[in-house]
Amino acid sequence: MKIGEKLNNVKLLLEDGNNFSSDEFLGKKLIIYFYPKDDTPGCTKEAIEFSELIEEFKKNNTQIIGISKDSLEKHQKFISKHKLKVKLASDEDLEICKKFGVWVEKSMYGKKYMGIERSTFLFDQNLILIKEWKKVKVNNHAQEVLEYIVS
């Protein structure tokens, strides 16, 4: 996805078993954030921060979907354990991660591996990509996104 592109016909399963279809969000702003793995320190902090601000996002006509390659069962446990208020979608086949360019080669302690690059994408009411944050640092990221929407 590139700035100015429309989000077309993206469909995923949400943690509650319902389908996520991007077309359902026409008329609202949509945040899609990608994160590496449920219940890890950074991913937990990010999900909690978005959850804590969910009412402010709703007041600004904005919905939030978090996406990782974790299973729906793992998402359910993650939400329950941390009382999260955000919706989480599973992209186990990595189709959407690849479409957004967030499935990348990473390196840790000199070892290379493939993983999700923490990234956030903001779409306007017509599902046009208007802002992206790549290589996100978790601290205060949700607040930064909210401030961008409000400004």
Active site residues: 43
Q: Collapsing DSSP states into helix, strand and coil, what is residue 65?
A: strand
Of 23, 17, 31, 26, nearest to 89 by C-alpha is 17
Give the Cα separation of 144 and 128 in Å (integer): 20
Which neighbouring-strand residues pair with 116?
103
**148 CA to centre of own chain:** 16
The 10 Å Cβ neighbour count of residue 122 is 20
Characterize 15-34 residue by residue with b for buried, 16 or more Cβ atoms within 10 angstroms of its Cβ, and e for exposed: beeeebebeebeeebbbbbb
* 119-123 vs 111-116, strand pairing mode: unpaired
